[in-house]
Amino acid sequence: MALFTLTVFGLIAVINAEEIKYNPCCSNPCENFGICNRIAWTEKYTCDCYGTGYYGVNCQTPTWSKWISNLLRPSPFTVQAITTNGKIIWKIVNKIKFVHSYFMKFILKIRALSPEWPEPHNTAADYITWDGYTNKTYWGRTLPAVPEDCPTPFGVVGPKEYPDVYKLVEEVFTRTEFKPCPRGTSLSLPLYGQHFTHQGFKSVPSDDTLTWGQHTLDMSHLYGETLGKQLALRSMKGGKMKTQIINGEEYPPNMKDCPGVNMDYPENVIEEYRFAMGHPFFALLPSLMYYSTLWLREHNRVCDVLAEHHPQWDDERLFQTTRLIILGETLKVTVEEYVQHISGMDLKLTFEPDLMHDSSMRWASGRLHVEFNTLYHWHNMIPNYFYIGNKTYTLEETFFNMSSLLDNGMNVFTTSMANQVAGRGAGGRNMAKSLHKVAYEVIKMNRKLRLQPFNRYRELFRLPPYKTFEELTGETKLAKVLSKFYGGEINAVEYFVGIMVEKRYKAKMWGITLTESIGNYALRSVFSNVIGSPQYWKESTFGGKIGFDMVKTASLKDIACRNIKGCPEFKFEIAEAVTEDTDKGMIYNDIESDGTEGTGQHKTEL
């Protein structure tokens, strides 16, 4: 009898298991990004629509205010069209202060106030927790993770398992020939982006859910993320940082002169070439040391200016005030030159934090999102060769080797990077094989964190989901390869993969999805910085009018000219834009078909 009873209950359990196919939230039934909650082990669910502006069983019906808001708010395509056409009109707008401020404020209100914060989602758990809010070692999330108990890694669509990451990168990312950026973007831009973002993007290699950064732009890549490192890097005289002279120029000090500062140098790098900088990763490339050197020199120059105007100030006050000025200068040039080029807008972007002082901006309260970190891996823009002075360096020769900077000097390095075209960012198949490891790690991280598919992020940024692989890539060959990996299901394409292979959008550097999302993430990160708050954005913060003016008038061209002998030209765009079939006169014919070997002329002992 007992055996019969167990058998009956076993059959009932099997039947129930078959009826409950999967977590209903896997299919994202809640529209407009309402939060789906499964009811026990059943196929029933509820949608939490609070704060979305929608109501109904699936958050499908807009409230009247939301309907009007949607009606009045221009689509991303409309904003792009308006701000990238009519150069003559925009030149006039840019010169009329109050008119320009109106448009700049409008752009900021639709860009810098989203994604929402405080972030309800983070990498601490799949649900809201207090620790997830208070513990800033966790990344924020823009969208919640795909539930663990779904039939596929993508929810309910696509293959049962993720495609092999190595085969995926090999067939979708590999450069067969160098493709230059159609915008004529110089190599200075992606290298600036790499140095700038590492003050915030600081992953913990052993745990993809964690970061050791402070979720803000703080110049820690120059000053160090701890007080101990900061003190080790400071000279403790006149507010200045330690430096050393090499070939008649100032550079960061050696590690032996900065006890407690650790860098990521391999064992074969001799002590003489072990430089101490604020971020351990800056040991990797000469371009990282270049930007560190540029800001280091600017810091010490500003200290001299402040000391002249405030002879009563001690070392500590000179250092602290200078740091605020350097941060302000960085944010200004990042918006007005770096983000300006990326945006492709004819509207002149300006760093005027006071435009947001009457808004709902929450200064220094947000955290960096793992999706923002993900999309900032632009390694397809890095060429196989660097042409610096009269020498050619392979990409591999620059790893942990600063000779291309030290042997040529800051002037030549600046000019060379400003006059070499970067790689094409959009469309895939333009990444050097030596950088494939980066793509592997990013995709693996996204999978461990169960990021939602690419099309879901399209919807989030008010873009229509792609319906076919051809529509995504703009061509058929790569579309067939992607279809093979994702089982013919466009809604299964992974976030990072979609970002990298999306076809270029008109006059932009990348596809429309990356352009839209980075516009929101970047402007929010910059304009929510505490230095732009009403309590900080004033003359007294920067040592008076002299310091405030330095921030308000900063430009990369002037910073380079003031701190590098010969006043080299610093620029993010080469004079004339290129097309997919031109090479701007650069020497690319020495790149082999697999993109990994060539005729590099420079060898080093490091």
Q: Summarize pLDDT for 224-253 with one digit per residue, the tens.
A: 999 999 999 999 999 999 999 999 999 999
The whole-angstrom separation of Cα 354 and Cα 380 is 36
Residue 363 pLDDT exceeds 80: no
3-state secondary structure of 254: strand
Name the active-site residue from 100, 121, 195, 198. Answer: 198
- Is residue 203 within 8 Å of 448, Cβ to Cβ? no
**One of 376, 385, 457, 486 is an active-site residue; which one?**
376
* Res. 198 pLDDT band, cuts 50 70 90: confident
Q: Residues near 8 by Cβ (< 8 Å), separated by ≥ 6?
A: none
Q: Collapse the DSSP code of 534 into the 3-class scheme (helix H, G, I; strand E, B; otherwise coil) and give the result.
A: coil
Q: How confident is the model at residue 5 (pLDDT cuts 50, 70, 90)?
A: very low
Per-residue pLDDT at 365: 65
Q: Quote the pLDDT of residue 4.
A: 36
Q: How far apart are CA 144 and CA 442, in angstroms?
A: 18
Task: Give the CA diameter of the chain.
Answer: 97
Structure tokens of 107?
């752009």
Q: Does pLDDT of 488 surpass 90? A: yes
Tens-place pLDDT, residues 368-387: 889 988 988 989 999 999 99
The torsion angles phi and psi of 464, rounded to 5 degrees, stand at -70, 135
Alpha-carbon torsion angle 284, 286, 287, 293, nearest 10: 110
Residue 20 has pLDDT above 70, yes or no: no
Residue from 376, 541, 506 nearest 79 by CA: 506
Please provide residue 146's backbone torsions phi and psi, each rounded to the nearest 5 degrees. Answer: -65, 130
Q: Does the pLDDT at position 67 exceed 70?
A: yes
Kindly state the tokens that stand for 317.
């006050």
In this prediction, residue 22 carries a pLDDT of 81
Confidence band for 524, pLDDT divided at 50, 70 and 90: confident
Tell me how far apart the alpha carbons of residues 318 and 430 are, in angstroms, rounded to a whole number: 46
Question: Quick check: 258 pLDDT over 50?
Answer: yes
Question: Is residue 376 among the annotated active site residues?
Answer: yes
What pTM does this model have? 0.88
Question: Could you tell me which residue, 110 or 311, shows the higher pLDDT?
Answer: 311
Domain boundaries along the sequence of the chain: 1-72, 165-180+426-451+462-512
Q: What is the DSSP letter of 145?
A: P
Alpha helices in 504-573 (DSSP H): 512-527, 545-552, 556-563
Beta-strand ranges (E) seen in 221-313 are 244-246, 249-251
| Cis peptide bond N-terminal to 147, omega within 30 | no
Instruction: Please answer whether residues 380 and 174 qualify as being in contact, where contact means their C-beta atoms are separated by less than 8 angstroms.
Output: no
pLDDT at 576: 55
Torsion of CA 405, 411, 417, 418, to 10 degrees: 170
In angstroms, the Cα distances linking 215 to 123, 364, 586 are: 14, 9, 39
How confident is the model over 279-320, as pLDDT tens digits?
A: 999 998 999 999 999 999 999 999 999 999 999 999 999 999
Distance separating alpha carbons of residues 522 and 26, to the nearest angstrom? 30
Q: Which helix (H) or strand (E) holds 15?
A: helix 2-19
CA distance 313 to 468: 64
Whether residue 397 is predicted with pLDDT greater than 60 in this model: the reply is yes
State whether residue 135 is helix, strand or coil. Answer: coil
Radius of gyration of the CA atoms of the chain, in A:
26
Give the residue-averaged pLDDT of 339-360.
88
In terms of Cβ atoms closer than 10 Å to its own Cβ (0-12, 13-18, 19+), residue 470 is middle
* Count of Cβ atoms closer than 10 Å to residue 177 Cβ: 14
- Between CA 469 and CA 489 the distance in angstroms is 9
d(CA 152, CA 73): 36
pLDDT at 49 over 60: yes
pLDDT average, residue stretch 71-93: 85
Non-local (6+) Cβ contacts of 319 within 8 A are: 234, 239, 240, 303
Name which of 197, 587, 584 is nearest 378 in CA terms.
Answer: 197
pLDDT of residue 592 exceeding 70, the answer is no
How far is Cα 335 from Cα 364, in angstroms, rounded to an integer? 18
Integer Cα distance of 423 and 442 in angstroms = 20
Structure tokens at 530: 């505490």
Contact present, 573 and 341 (Cβ < 8 Å): yes
477's tokens: 């060959």
Rounded Cα distance between 367 and 121, Å, is 11
Q: What are the pLDDT digits (tens) for 489-502?
A: 999 999 999 999 99
The answer on pLDDT for 12 being more than 80 is: no
Contact of 242 with 222, CB cutoff 8 Å: no
Residue 74, both tokens? 């221009």
Sequence length of the chain is: 606
- Of the candidate CATH numbers 1.20.1250.20, 3.30.70.360, 2.60.120.650, 2.10.25.10, the domain formed by 1-72 belongs to 2.10.25.10
Q: How far apart are CA 418 and CA 446, in angstroms?
A: 33
387 among known catalytic residues: no
Give me the phi and psi of 303, to 5 degrees please.
-55, -40
Contacts of 521 (CB under 8 A, 6+ apart): 115, 369, 371, 372, 375
Q: Tell me which of 63-77, 421-435, 443-457, 566-580 is least confident.
A: 566-580
Backbone region of residue 362 per phi and psi (left: phi > 0; alpha: psi in -120 to 50; beta: other values) = beta
**Is the dihedral angle over the CA atoms 136, 145, 66, 352 positive or is it negative?**
positive
Q: How confident is the model at residue 19 (pLDDT cuts 50, 70, 90)?
A: very low
- Per-residue model confidence (pLDDT) at position 575: 62
Q: How confident is the model at residue 588 (pLDDT cuts 50, 70, 90)?
A: very low
Q: How many angstroms separate the CA atoms of 587 and 178, rounded?
A: 10
Query: What band does 214 get if pLDDT is binned at 50, 70 and 90?
Result: confident
